Amino acid sequence: MKKFFAVIIFFVTVLSADCDSPKNFERTEILMGTVVTLKAEGKNSRAALDESFLALFELEKKISADVKKIEDAAGNGAFVKISSDVYEILTAAQKFSALTDGAFDVTIGAAVELWGIGTENPRVPTADELIAVKNFVGHEHLHLRGGEAYLDRRGVKINLGGVGKGYGVDVARKIFVAHGVTSGLIDFGTSTIFAVGKKKIGIKNPRAEEISGVVELEDCALSTSGDYEKFFIADGRRYHHIIDPKTCAPAEAENFSVSVIVGGREKNCATLADILSTTAFVLGKERTEKFLTENKIAAKIFSAP
Ligand code: ADP
Ligand code: MG
């Protein structure tokens, strides 16, 4: 009986979607530890969503398989072949590690694990543990060449939490473009977003369950990094998930959250926005704006509060 109703509900849902607005589609899935919602309007929008999710589930698998492969081979002297997607992510990450003197660093993995932020057992490490973990963090340990990667020290861990979602947004964005979608939204848990066409996006108040402002985006990516997504409180202090690689402790940020907007004409704009919001949270708005100007990278930064 239950099955029967489920089938009816399924058909009613499909029919109503088809009758009411045949060209507007929306689908939500859990991916990369976040709620991903894709919306598309117009011809081919359903195909664009389906194809995007297929590609994103594939991407998620590639990321975990390649990260494991690289970590397993760490220190053994041999480069390992990885997918072109993960190679591209790591190449972008390494570029910004170099430009930011290591403020953005995907080899932050061991420090992220030590703090356990976002897990059921977060804790403040001892001073000795913090000194020890620094030996296993540093972008200079990650080497890339011709589609292959190598970590030159065993125990160094890759964490793509600060860039993978942005790359995922870019993957979906390219599929939207291929299908001619001109209006829609690619939303990775409001952390990194791409607005296809004109869209109004609410910015979350980092200290309350409310929207603190609205930005209007048109064909551009928006990424926000803050101390409110993943954190724990110990001895009255808030310990959040964005780590300063210099100290291997949560960054002493100037703001509760920082947002970055990058225009859609910029190659892999969402990847860039994702990297830059994490970076700007660690470095602060002014230092980030300075390095962006010096390197002729067009991005707009704003913070709350
Ligand atoms: P969110 O994941 O909430 O969108 P971010 O894009 O700022 O936020 O990414 C934060 C995540 O990136 C952390 O949870 C961690 O996995 C990873 N990370 C933490 N510190 C750094 C850093 N300095 N450089 C690169 N990645 C980092
Ligand atoms: Mg980021």
- Confidence grade of residue 305 (pLDDT, cut at 50, 70, 90): low
Q: Residue 22: what pLDDT?
A: 58
For ligand 1, say whether the CB of 162 is within 6 Å of any of its atoms: yes
Q: Are strands 80-81 and 142-145 parallel, antiparallel or unpaired?
A: unpaired
Residue 1 has pLDDT above 60, yes or no: no
Q: 34 in helix, strand or coil?
A: strand
- Pocket lining: 274 vs ligand 1, CB cutoff 6 Å: yes
Share of the chain above pLDDT 70, in %: 92
Mind giving me the DSSP string for 102-113?
TSS-GGGHHHHH
- Is the CB of residue 40 below 6 angstroms from any atom belonging to ligand 1? no
- Residue that has been written with the tokens 């509900």 in this structure: 9
Average pLDDT over residues 257-278: 96
pLDDT in tens, 164-201: 999 999 999 999 999 999 999 999 998 999 999 999 99
pLDDT of residue 46: 96
Ligand 1 pocket member 112 (CB < 6 A): yes
Q: Which ligand is nearest to the CA of 96?
A: 1
Q: What are phi and psi of 96, to 5 degrees?
A: -80, -25
Number of neighbouring beta carbons within 10 Å of residue 58:
13
Averaged pLDDT for residues 95-122 = 96
Residues in the chain: 305
Mean pLDDT, the chain, rounded, equals 92
Residue 54 corresponds to which tokens in the numbers above? 């297929």
Q: For residue 163, give the ligand 1 atom closest to its CA.
A: 6
Nearest to 225 by CA among 243, 210, 237, 211: 243
Residue 213, pLDDT score? 87
Q: What is the pLDDT of residue 283?
A: 95
- In the numeric block, the tokens 């704006």 are attached to 289
For residue 188, which ligand has an atom nearest its CA?
1
pLDDT for res 20? 43
pLDDT value of residue 163: 98
Question: Residue 7: what pLDDT?
Answer: 45
Average pLDDT estimate for 281-297:
95
Of all protein residues, whose CA lies closest to atom 8 belonging to ligand 1?
225
Find out whether the beta carbon of 191 lies less than 6 Å from any atom of ligand 1: yes
Q: What is the pLDDT of residue 14?
A: 41
Phi, psi of 153 (to 5 degrees): -135, 130
**For the chain, percent of residues with pLDDT exceeding 90:** 85
Domains of the chain: 4-304 (3.10.520.10)
From 108, 271, 278, 283, give the residue whose CB has the most ligand 1 atoms within 8 Å, as the site to mutate.
278
Q: What is the spatial distance between Cα 68 and Cα 79, in angstroms, rounded to a whole number?
A: 13
Minimum CA distance residue for ligand 1 atom 19: 242
Band (pLDDT 50/70/90 cuts) for residue 18 is very low
Alpha-carbon distance of 174 to 213, in angstroms, equals 28
Over residues 39-77, the pLDDT tens digits come to 999 999 999 999 999 999 999 999 999 999 999 999 999
Q: Give the residue, by CA position, lying nearest to ligand 1 atom 10.
A: 162
The reported pLDDT for the residue numbered 204 is 85
